[in-house]
Amino acid sequence: MRLHPALIVLLALGACKVPATPEAAEGPVSAPEAATPAPAPGPLVRPAALLEQACRDRVSEQFGQAGASVRYEAQGAARATVSWAAPVDGGVLSFECRMDEAGADLFRNGQSVTVNVPTAADAVEQEAR
């Protein structure tokens, strides 16, 4: 089956919602609507609950501390302080938690902190070597 070129043009114009005839294009003309300006780029703003959960998840992942033992204090839209009792000497470990596009990270004295708690699977893998 071969389609006629005029039929193809009409189908294409119909799909684009462009009137096929000039008479259909005429009608009341209104002023173009003003485009809403895009918001200026700024710091990433996340809901407080999302920030708290991301910070708690990071503490759990890196230090193995979870639940009510971790104290959370919001310090703004994208920062918080997380702390918990140190398991060795009973002192308090405290970190600043910051949220960005990549997620939450922990900082101490302005430096990013990365500590991974070994899991049982890690121990089994090490023992197998």
- Indicate yes or no: pTM above 0.85: no
Burial 3-13 (b: 16+ CB within 10 A, else e): eeeeeeeeeee
How confident is the model over 60-71, as pLDDT tens digits? 998 888 899 999
pLDDT for 126 equals 67
pLDDT for 54 equals 92
How confident is the model over 64-95, as pLDDT tens digits? 888 999 999 998 888 999 999 987 887 899 99
Residue showing tokens 């809901």: 47
Sketch out the chain's domains with CATH numbers: 48-120 (3.30.310)
Rg (C-alpha) for the chain, rounded Å, is 29
Residues 68, 82: contact at Cβ < 8 Å?
Answer: no
Q: How confident is the model at residue 43 (pLDDT cuts 50, 70, 90)?
A: very low
Q: How confident is the model at residue 42 (pLDDT cuts 50, 70, 90)?
A: very low
CA dist., res. 68 & res. 65, Å (int): 9
Beta carbons within 8 Å of 59's beta carbon, 6+ residues apart: 65, 66, 70, 82, 84, 95, 97, 106
